[in-house]
Amino acid sequence: MDMDGKSKNPVRRAYRRYFWEFGSAMVLYVAMMWVRNWLLFGARPGASGPMEHAPQGWQIAVAAMPVTPVAFVLVAIVRLVRNTDEMQRRVYVESAAIAGAATALLAATYGLIEGDFFPKLSAWWTYSVFMFGWLIASGFLWRSYYR
């Protein structure tokens, strides 16, 4: 048994790797957002960007460019879930399932009432609701294992 301070614990390694990957992806996201906004909208408010007259396909590609680091975050999360221990994996997967179901229910409910009674919302809210729901659900599940 390795009882010295230098742990070979795979769970700690997985978390270290996750935080590094998540941090790098966030830095890349901020950089790509800056480049995207500069290309499409210019450096100053009211100014036009270098791609203002580019073909629409290119403008869409540039607008969606920052999703690349978001995909990196997704890969980092999947890697963490796969490399952590069985109990933590259970908490993450269970809470993701609860958050997914809650998001689907909210999206369906809002889909039925939007337009006539409520304003049409950006697709971003589903992402935010899912992530927030995942956080809350995992918090409750962690509590249930430690109380």
Partner 1 sequence: MKNRLKVLRAERDWTQAQLADAAGVARQTIVALENAKYSPSLELAFKFSRIFGKAIEEIFQGLADEGK
139 part of the interface to partner 1, by CB under 8 A:
no
Min separation Cβ 78 and partner 1, Å: 18
Under DSSP, the state recorded for 7 is -
Nearer to partner 1, 34 or 142 (CB): 142
Are 136 and 98 spatial neighbours (Cβ–Cβ below 8 Å)?
A: no
3 state DSSP class of 4: coil
**Alpha carbons 100 and 129: distance in angstroms, whole number:** 9
Cα angle for residues 63, 79, 64 (degrees, 5° grid) = 5
User: Candidates 16-24, 36-44, 110-118, 139-147 — which segment interacts with partner 1 by CB under 8 A?
Assistant: 139-147
Among 84, 95, 103, 138, binds partner 1 (CB under 8 A): 84
Applying CB under 8 A, which residues contact partner 1? 1-3, 7-12, 84-88, 142, 144-147
